[in-house]
Structure 1
Amino acid sequence: MTERRTYSYLGPAGTFTEAALDQVPEARGHVWKPVHNVGEALADVLSGASDAAMIAIENSIDGGVSTTQDALANNPGLRIVGEYLVRVNFVLVAQPGAKLEDVRVVAAHPVAYAQCHSWLEEHLPEHAHVPAASNVASALGLLDGSLPADAAIAAPGIVQHQELEVLAEQIGDNDNAVTRFVLVSRTTAPGEPTGADKTSLIVELPDDRPGALLEMLEQFSTRGINLSLIESRPIGDELGRYRFVLDADGHIHDERMADALLGIRRFSPRVVFLGSYPRADRRIVQYPERYADEIFVEARDWLRGLIAGEPDED
């Protein structure tokens, strides 16, 4: 009999995070535990209360999710084991019988609010914003009176679970908006490379000096590795000190990636390896032939031969 596993996610039922978790085949039929925030989800994983947690890490409109990035930087012992994409759009909901012209205060998760900003400015230019813990929480807070709001921004699926009036549909500013989620477990060995992989890191600069950021980026560019995400976050100990959240195309088992990680480790006082995992889009990583694995292997063998005193070969 298969042992039941537990997966934490930003709840309650009906959130985009739950939709991301629904994309994980191995999670189906197991325990899904709703939590209130990213910190609680990762604490579940670290304590063993959950086997893994689904958390939002980036969206195509607002960039990286800073709370997630900071939590991953400050909680050692975690690994990203997969990523999942969820298309995002929103509805504006209210108590039954309400009308759009009556709305003065809108409850919304900050990320959702940012993605609907243009629509709100056009249709509710004098509104105020009340932050909510999640898209579902904004609607539930409206219903139970715990949030002082007249309407809420939520995922379209909320009306399948709650009795709400839909005041407006498709209120997102970008029809192509996508949120990227990652499944996080305790530290584990990376899976085998698929050819369509991504490696995530957090890297601190050694000091604040001209060229320090360039030197970090060169560790990847000189090995033919594309960076699909580069975001800075303050370390927090003093002004001018930053860490960088990086997504690099490729897998730690690739010779070029392994070589780049060695360079980064020599360069940076602190490197957090978040994991190598399959890309959500399954797009095969392309790179110039001069950075193929066998080129790195041949160069390493050549150096070993020189050290061993073997004769040069033309």
Structure 2
Amino acid sequence: MTIDAPEADAPRRTYSYLGPAGTFTEAALAQVPEAREHVWRPVRNVGEALADVVEGRSDAAMIAIENSVDGGVSTAQDALATTPGLRIVGEYLVPVRFVLVGRPGSRLEDVSLIAAHPVAYAQSLRWLSETLPAHAHIPAASNVASALGLLDGSSPADAAIAPPGITEHHELEVLAEDIGDNPNAVTRFVLVSRTVAPPAPTGADKTSLIVELPEDHPGALLELLEQFATRGINLSLLASRPVGDELGRYRFVIDADGHIRDERMADALMGLRRFSPKVIFLGSYARADRAIVHYPDRYSDEVFVEARDWLRGLVSGEPED
């Protein structure tokens, strides 16, 4: 997808996203001001999107990282853990809404066979059971693919579950709106670029990390978590993923409230570095909800600076007050 061309003297940027047009990922990319009027490159999966960035075909990629109903997106977490040279530079929230669509002229009462991605189907099952109790389900590769199959004749389904944005790109009949069972469902997306310096802290920031446990022993996870707890840092995400080389070896995907330039966060990262054989810093960036991070006064930057200055004074032999 190409949006209106930017001014002639402006650098042309490319953004990869899970396509085709009409996906929730495209809706997330539409929230990025700097991506407007530049090239949007649809790809088939997360690995392809991140490879575009690493290999220079794109300047950044938008990927789904977490869903409020289903939790973390394991394929994205694993890809970030195993693809070096990447940095998260922003996060965006997209409400998860589904519509039931059919071919032009279709009617809801004629629907008996529905195409849907398994996740979308599971999140709409209550509505389907109440409204179309005799329906059958055909799995689809993606939310958009379920609808496109109706148009190109590749699907025998009468209708498909799809994102609302599908109707902006394809001529489909909307048979029902807001069919999702959870009206508060949200998917969190992150914009990933090649490694860059973190932006300045805003006070409403998040730091994302992937940390491996040094070995499997009693209390190992507690030792990891203490690096944050003893510095007053709240974790908004903690998910385990197998390293993959042997049983019992895990890495942890972590979102921590705060910015790497915060004294308490920097101190925690140094503690993690001493503790873990592998710490992947994915980035510090502004929270999508812009919620200010609050913490007790004893964990303020000034307290950490004062403690460090006190220690320097002890080492240098300065007289104590």
- TM bucket normalised to smaller: over 0.9
Residue 238 (structure 1) aligns with: 246
CA deviations 1:85-116 (Å, max 9, x no partner) are 11121011122344546545433334423322
Q: Aligned pair in 2 of structure 1 residues 110, 43: CA closer, same or farther (>3 Å)?
A: farther
Q: Please name the residue that 2:3 is paired with.
A: none
- Shift of residue 131, structure 1, vs aligned partner: 2.9
SS at match of 2:27: helix
Q: Is the 8 A contact 2:123 2:180 kept in 1?
A: yes
Identity of aligned residues (%): 78
**TM-score of the two chains, using structure 1 as the length reference:** 0.94
| Structure 1 residues 4 and 207, CA gap change in structure 2 (3 angstroms) | same
Are the counterparts in 1 of residues 112 and 134 from structure 2 also a CA contact under 8 Å?
Answer: no
Moved over 6 A (4+): none
- Choose the corresponding residue for 1:31, options 25, 33, 39: 39
Q: Distance in 1 between matches of 2:42 and 2:80?
A: 19
Question: Residue type matched to 1:181 in 2?
Answer: F
Distance, in Å, in 2 between the alignment partners of 1:83 and 1:252 is 16
Q: Does 1:301 align with 2:302?
A: no
Instruction: Describe how 1:114-133 pairs up with structure 2 within 5 A.
Output: 114-122=122-130, 123-124=132-133, 127-133=136-142
Counterpart Cα distance in 2 of 1:9 and 1:57: 13
Partners of 2:98 and 2:66 in 1: how far apart? 17
Which residue identity lines up with residue 25 of structure 2 in the other structure? T
1:41 to 49, 72, 80: 49
Name 1:93's counterpart in structure 2.
101
Query: Deviation at 1:137?
Result: 2.0
Residues 264 and 121 of structure 1: CA distance in aligned 2, closer, same or farther (over 3 Å): farther
Give 1:68's match in structure 2, choosing from 51, 54, 76: 76
Conserved? CA contact 2:116–2:137, under 8 Å: no
Paired residue type of 2:277 = P
Gaps of 5+ in 2: 1-8
Q: 2:169 aligns with which of 154, 157, 161?
A: 161
| Aligned mate of 1:254, from 255, 262, 267 | 262
CA RMSD of aligned residues (A): 1.7
Assess if the C-alpha contact under 8 Å between 2:111 and 2:135 holds in 1.
no
Corresponding residue of 1:150: 158
Secondary structure (helix, strand or coil) at the match of 2:290 reads coil
Instruction: Give runs of aligned pairs for residues 182-197 of structure 1, distance below 5 A.
Output: 182-197=190-205
User: Which stretch shows the higher mean deviation, 44-53 or 21-30?
Assistant: 21-30
Q: Is the alpha carbon distance of 1:100 and 1:53 closer, same or farther for their aligned partners in structure 2, counting shifts above 3 Å? A: same
* Map of 2:19 onto structure 1: 11
Shift, 1:16, TM fit: 1.4
Give 1:37 shift.
Answer: 1.2
Say which SS state the counterpart of residue 190 (structure 1) adopts: coil
| Residue in 1 that maps onto 2:147 | 139
| Equivalent position SS for 1:43 | helix
Counterpart position of 1:174: 182
Classify 1:253/1:31 alpha carbon distance in 2 versus 1 (closer, same or farther; 3 Å): same
Aligned length: 312
Counterpart contact for 1:62–1:114, Cα < 8 Å: no
Q: Secondary structure of the equivalent of 1:231?
A: strand
Gaps of 5+ in 1: none
Q: 1:268 to 1:121 in 2, by over 3 A?
A: farther
- Separation of aligned partners in 1, 2:248 and 2:126: 33
Summarize deviations over 1:58-107 as a string: whole Å, max 9, x none. 11111111111111111011000001111121011122344546545433
Deviations 1:105-154 (A, max 9, x none): 43333442332233334434662341323x22221123213345332211
Contact 1:6-1:52 at 8 Å conserved across structures = yes
TM-superposed CA distance for 1:269, in Å, is 1.4
